């Protein structure tokens, strides 16, 4: 990523060949994590949450990810345990991971933006360091 630039699809020209993705590499769905990254990220979040997988969380789906089921007048928030976050990914009403996921105690928050091919995580320094050091996740520190 060039210095001073925020993560976006334009920041990763090395993975493109002549304007297309190389064979064998599927581009990410804009506004969604892939399943492997979702599983890894929620595992790291659980490891750094006081209640671990029993941490109570809230998840928000942007109406833009709900297609024909979009309801712009009511929030699409789900509640549950962090250890059960896999079912959020398997939501039959959408082909996206939640737009936002946060601990009920507000100790951390993640947000995936439809127009930004990245997910931002805010939380305690130990969580951020764990994400940066995790070999299964691509992570950069934003200013």
* Residue whose C-alpha is closest to residue 59's, from 128, 109, 94, 127: 109
Q: Is residue 48 part of a domain?
A: yes
Q: Is residue 37 part of a domain?
A: yes
Distance CA 67, CA 104 (A): 27
Place of tokens 């994590």: 33
Q: Is residue 26 part of a domain?
A: no
Which pTM was predicted? 0.76
Residues 47-99: pLDDT tens digits? 999 899 999 999 988 777 666 667 777 777 889 999 999 888 887 777 778 88
What is the domain count for the chain? 1
Tell me which residue range forms the domain holding 49: 31-133
Residues 96-131: pLDDT tens digits? 788 899 999 999 999 987 677 678 999 999 999 999
Q: Is residue 141 part of a domain?
A: no
Q: What does the block give as tokens for 137?
A: 């996740």
Beta bridge partners of 60: 77, 100
Q: Is residue 66 part of a domain?
A: yes
């Amino acid at each position: 990523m060039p210095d001073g630039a925020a993560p976006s699809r334009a920041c990763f020209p090395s993975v493109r060949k002549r304007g297309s993705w190389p064979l064998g590499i599927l581009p990410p769905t804009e506004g969604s994590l892939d399943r492997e990254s979702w599983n890894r990220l929620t595992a790291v979040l659980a490891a750094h949450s006081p209640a671990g997988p029993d941490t109570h969380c809230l998840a928000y789906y942007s109406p833009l990810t709900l297609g024909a089921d979009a309801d712009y007048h009511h929030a699409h928030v789900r509640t549950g345990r962090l250890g059960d976050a896999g079912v959020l990914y398997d939501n039959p009403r959408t082909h996206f991971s939640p737009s936002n996921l946060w601990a009920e105690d507000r100790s951390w928050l993640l947000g995936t933006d439809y127009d930004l091919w990245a997910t931002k995580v805010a939380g305690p320094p130990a969580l951020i360091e764990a994400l940066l050091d995790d070999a299964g996740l691509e992570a950069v520190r934003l200013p």
